[in-house]
A and B are shown apart, each in its own frame.
Chain A
Amino acid sequence: MRHGRTPFIIGFLAVPVALYATFVVAAYIQTFQLAFTNWSGLGTIKYVGFDNFERLWNDDLFWRSVGHNLYLLILLPIITIAIALVFAFLLNAGGGSHGGKTRGIFGSKFYRVIFFFPQLMALAIVAVIFGRVFSTDESGMLNGLFPESWSPWLFLADERWALTCILAVMVWQAVGFYVVLFSAGMGSIEQEVYEAAALDGANRITLFFKITIPLLWNTLQVAWVYLGIAAFDAFALVNIMSVDRGGPDGATSVLAMMIYRNAFEYSQAGYASALGVALFFLTLTFAALTLRVTRREAH
């Protein structure tokens, strides 16, 4: 069988590798190349060395955007994973142990479907819907709930809260997927482990922290990386929901938004590529750090 192996693997891999090489690897290489030019997006290309990176270093908006991405990077995974874990635990083991079997709280099968709904909606639609939820006048869903005599809450128009509003939507959309992911992970934990722990007198909280979390560690790690990468994006929500796209006054600007504006609106594809390179290294650093820091089974 040995002789048939190589063509078989090549047959499977050729198409995806070709696609990946064309649309990801080649595009990245080109981005790195363009980062050293002052290309406008049209016309001739001139190499300018590290000029773009020097400008980047002195660009206030760049540092603010990095700050916003870091804010999302820290809070999005923590909040999403925390909520998803609690929900997944409730769905799988929250009903306690009965006749030697753990089970979810009443109606858990129904909730499992409901939780997944946000994941099915296109991001653009989610953004438009939440734009209505956060609308600053009385037609907004939240402002509509308050008495008319209150002055309306500004949400996205308030620079102190705008980014948090975006974060809330990201969490809302992500939770469902991770509930399902964690549920699957919890489902594969042997019942005997829970039984044994229950026999030793562990309550639900102890079960959660001493059994569920350690046995779910690998899944959590994946979730963390994925959510982190989502936090580096956030483009669609910012573009559609925020005041003046990234505002008010830069309060919700993120790197992806800056890349888009520089490439397609300011005709500074070179500078945008430099931003892309910065984002590339930030993402890479994050992924490497996450995998290293969360390494547990190394013993």
Chain B
Amino acid sequence: MSEITATELDRRTLLRRAAAVGLAATPAVGMLSGCVGGGAEEEAPKQAEGEKSADNPLGVDPKTGIEIVIFDGGLGTKYATDVDTPLYNKKWPDSKVTYSATQEVSTVVQPRINAGDPPDMINNSGSKLMDFGAVVNAGQAQDLTELFAAPSLDVAGKTVAETLVPGAIEQGTYNGKPYAVNYAYTVFGLWYNKALFAKNNWTVPATWSEFTALLDKIKAAGITPYGYAGANASYYQVRAILTSAGKIGGEQVLKDIDNLKPGAWTNDAIVKAAAAWAEVGKTYLDKSFLGLKHTEIQLRQNQDKLAFYPCGSWLENEQAKDTPPGFEYAVAPYPSVTAADTLPATALNAAAGEIYFVAAKGKNPRGGMEYLRTMLSKEAALGFTKLTKSLTVVAGAADGVTISPGLTSANEAVGKAGKDIFMGYLFDTWYKKLDDESRAATNDLMFKDYDAKKFADRMEAAAQVVAADSSVTKFTRS
């Protein structure tokens, strides 16, 4: 055996090899993204299909199981395990539902899609969601036209499409075809503690001057009047700014942004909205919030150290554990910026969110669609709302049911807004890079520069870079 050690490595060789091994520490993208190039070109595996009938409009094979992946986030997962799956199995007892939950949807699902073995129904959500535009573009999402045309599970005489709130399907429509169910109906606005406001006789503002006057009063009372988390949730503030812009100039302003129209960001409405919010940032924002995360800010609000917080209606459920008794969440629409705003002060930004889609190349896409049809029944929708304190796109499913103060307030706001509900914008999901730019630019606007013109110019430039980039798939809306 002595020969083996006879050729002794000299130290230098050893060092050089050590350095070479160290190179392995640098990330190799090809490996991280899983098997490259699989899936798309390959033939789809044999997919289960059963006989279509009035009772089985989607042609589900009753014996084949389905696999679902649920995002484990603010909404929890109980609605899937305790409401949807039992309801699905009531109709299809022999179709086994294989369930898993994850916080990192893209990490778990994307490699499986690439490998040609996707789960059947996927809840694409959370900070690690897959770029859904890319999923659609790669032909990996099932066309859901059939699902929406099928009769509703428990509303007699109506198709699934007819039971949904206006705009619900459009939001999952890519280039004319529906590929996703956006299930949760989220109301955006200024969230506050109704009890605290009642105690101090503070009334919810409708105009910008009322708003700033109230912020002054709150500041004088020793409470931070307004705040958002710069470290990881600046997109809440992006939404505040753009909602104000939408109210000033109408929804077309936001559509132009989504369509990457030249000059969309330098529109007067955007500049005015940004200027109004920059003033709030300059005068009322706590500078340390730039370094804080949303959980920290939301906790402050629960402790009555922060009055207004721009957020969506998932907030109440997300904070359920930390909300002290006596704290009553309520939402107010963003106040009008000018007297000449296109939309009234009651106008509301409410949007369908939480993407659920069926993998086109899975083993049982029909079962996946049937699972979605189950979710879109009135019974499942009410169960979801009760468990998550979030409304759904199933119209009127939660009417007349008292669940929580925040939800009641959101429902009322929807009622008051009437026809003046707009779903906002989609550029943040369509063009992730532009989304990131808007977050950085907003932090700059609210914490550092307070310069609305600079904000608009910077976003305009970034939008035009995206528009000119041929490697980015473009989407349009009307």
A interface residues, Cβ below 8 angstroms from B: 1-2, 5, 8-9, 20, 23-24, 26-31, 33-34, 38-45, 48, 51, 134-137, 139, 143, 151-152, 154-157, 218, 221-222, 225-226, 229-230, 232-233, 235, 243-245, 247-250, 256, 259-261, 263-273, 275-276, 279-280, 283-284, 287, 290-291
Contacts and interface: CB of A to CB of B under 8 A. Distances in A.
A137 B137 contact: no
Given A225-B19, A248-B290, 15 more contacts: A1-B1, A9-B4, A30-B28, A39-B37, A41-B131, A45-B37, A136-B287, A157-B447, A222-B15, A232-B26, A244-B232, A244-B439, A248-B444, A264-B33, A279-B26
Interface stretch (B44-52, B106-114, B340-348): B106-114
Given A157-B231, A229-B26, A259-B29, A8 B4 contact: yes
B228 to A, nearest CB: 12
Contact of B40 (A43, A139, A222, A284): A43
B252 to A, nearest CB: 27
Q: Is the interface of B mostly helix, strand, loop or mixed?
A: helix
Contact of A222 (B18, B106, B133, B470): B18
B471 A43 contact: no
A180 to B, nearest CB: 17
17 contacts: A41-B110, A42-B110, A43-B39, A43-B138, A51-B471, A136-B292, A154-B287, A229-B26, A230-B25, A243-B230, A243-B232, A244-B231, A244-B232, A250-B440, A263-B29, A263-B33, A268-B471
B139 interface: yes
Nearest to B2: A1
Nearest to A136: B291
Given A2-B3, A136-B288, A269 B25 contact: no
Give the most central of A26, A40, A156: most B CB within 10 Å.
Answer: A40
Nearest to A4: B1
A225 B440 contact: no
A275 B26 CA distance: 11
B23 interface: yes
Given A243-B443, A283-B23, A28 B137 contact: no
A283 B140 CA distance: 37
B25 A248 contact: no
Contacts of B433: 266
Question: Interface size bucket, B side?
Answer: 35 or more
B135 interface: yes
A161 B33 CA distance: 33
A290 to B, nearest CB: 8
A1 B3 contact: yes
A272 B29 contact: yes
A215 B433 CA distance: 51
Interface of B: 1-4, 11-12, 15-16, 18-20, 22-33, 36-37, 39-41, 106, 110, 113-114, 128, 131, 133-135, 137-140, 230-232, 234, 286-292, 296, 432-433, 436, 439-440, 443-444, 447-448, 470-473
A244 B106 CA distance: 19
Contacts of A136: 287-292
Given A137-B288, A157-B291, A291 B134 contact: no
Nearest to B11: A218
Given A157-B288, A284-B23, A266 B432 contact: yes
A270 B472 CA distance: 12
A155 B291 contact: yes
Contacts of B26: 229, 232-233, 256, 276, 279-280, 283
Given A157-B291, A264-B106, A226 B4 contact: no
B29 A276 contact: yes
Contacts of A267: 131, 133-134, 432
A27 B37 CA distance: 13
B443 A249 contact: yes
Given A42-B135, A244-B234, A249-B440, A24 B24 contact: yes
A226 B154 CA distance: 64
Given A24-B24, A44-B41, A152-B288, A244 B230 contact: yes
Contacts of B30: 26-31, 33-34, 273
A41 B290 contact: no
Contacts of B36: 30, 34, 39, 45
Contacts of B40: 42-44
A28 B28 contact: yes
Given A40-B134, A221-B15, A271-B471, A154 B29 contact: no
Given A27-B28, A31-B28, A243-B230, A42 B440 contact: no
Nearest to A157: B291
A270 B471 contact: yes
Nearest to A42: B138
With most chain A CB atoms within 10 A of its CB, the pick from B16, B29, B138, B232 is B29
Nearest to A40: B134
List the 3 shortest-distance A-B pairs measured between CB atoms, nearest first: A43-B138, A30-B30, A136-B291
A218 B15 contact: yes
B231 A243 contact: yes
B25 A291 contact: no
Contacts of A256: 26-27
A137 B231 CA distance: 12
A135 to B, nearest CB: 7
B230 A157 contact: yes
Contacts of A264: 32-33, 106, 110, 128
A269 B35 CA distance: 12
A8 B1 CA distance: 10
- Among A51, A152, A157, the most chain B Cβ lie within 10 Å of the Cβ of A157
Contacts of B113: 42
Given A24-B24, A41-B134, A157-B290, A34 B29 contact: yes
B23 A229 contact: yes
A40 B473 contact: yes
Contacts of A1: 1-3
A40 B137 contact: yes
A288 B444 CA distance: 40
A30 B138 contact: no
Contacts of A5: 3-4
Nearest to B470: A38
A221 B232 CA distance: 39
Nearest to B293: A131
B33 to A, nearest CB: 6
Contacts of A44: 37, 40-41, 138
